[in-house]
Amino acid sequence: DQQVKQNSPSLSVQEGRISILNCDYTNSMFDYFLWYKKYPAEGPTFLISISSIKDKNEDGRFTVFLNKSAKHLSLHIVPSQPGDSAVYFCAARDSGGGADGLTFGKGTHLIIQP
Amino acid sequence: GAGVSQSPSNKVTEKGKDVELRCDPISGHTALYWYRQSLGQGLEFLIYFQGNSAPDKSGLPSDRFSAERTGGSVSTLTIQRTQQEDSAVYLCASSPWQGRTNEQFFGPGTRLTVL
């Protein structure tokens, strides 16, 4: 029973265009969302986050949008660059206390084509 | 400064053997997490330490898995009587714990292969 879903295993985008990575969740107790980027043979690195009290957070080329009613978030990267090619994981934190571990999606492999 | 380090980077073992995986968190980080990533899956939360205590062991998949943390720093994850389904990348992360919204900093992982 996946609580965080990334339905696109891979996404191919041309350099310079916008990349949009999507994430859906089912647990209404999630109150904080993070995006991580992972290169092969490396651990995930934090990219950007958003609290459930916001609907948008921007950091340079990266913007995360949160639609709480739809339980959906998306990561926009514009313009896309070759170094953005990586696996992107959506993660969420449960506000209900207890586990402080993050719940991750399966990831989307973003490929930026020249 | 140094990031999170893990050792070994790769471990191949035979079914039934015990293995120990080590994590050195970022100095000063009080929170430490273990995750694993099986092939084609997302990261699965295993256990969380705050200091030396583990308030949350909910993710440990079986009693063959245990973890400890000493001195509020280094942590070891032990898997006893390994099974083939234990094959995965085991990732450790730490955070400075200034509140629950702190992002977690990950190590490079240990790739465990159980033959």
Segment-wise mean pLDDT, segments of 10 residues, chain A, 114 residues: 91 97 94 94 93 95 97 97 96 74 93 95
User: Smallest Cβ distance to B103: which of A49, A51, A106?
Assistant: A49
The CA distance from A107 to the nearest CA of chain B, in Å, is 6
**A44 contacts on B by Cβ (under 8 Å):** 43, 91, 106
User: A104, B93: Cβ pair inside 8 Å?
Assistant: no
Give the strand pairing for A10-14 and A108-113. Answer: parallel
pLDDT (0 to 100) of residue B2: 80
Q: Contact, B18 vs B79, CB < 8 A?
A: yes
Q: Please check whether residue B106 touches A, CB under 8 A.
A: yes
Q: Please check whether residue B4 touches A, CB under 8 A.
A: yes
The CA distance from B45 to the nearest CA of chain A, in Å, is 6
pLDDT at B89 over 70: yes
B14-35 per-position pLDDT tens digit? 999 999 999 999 998 988 999 9
Helices (H), chain A: none
- Contacts of B62-70 spanning 24+ positions with Cβ under 8 A: B67/B34, B69/B32
User: B103, A46: Cβ pair inside 8 Å?
Assistant: yes
Question: What ranges make up the beta strands (E) of chain B?
Answer: 5-7, 10-13, 19-24, 31-37, 43-50, 53-56, 65-69, 75-79, 88-95, 105-106, 110-114
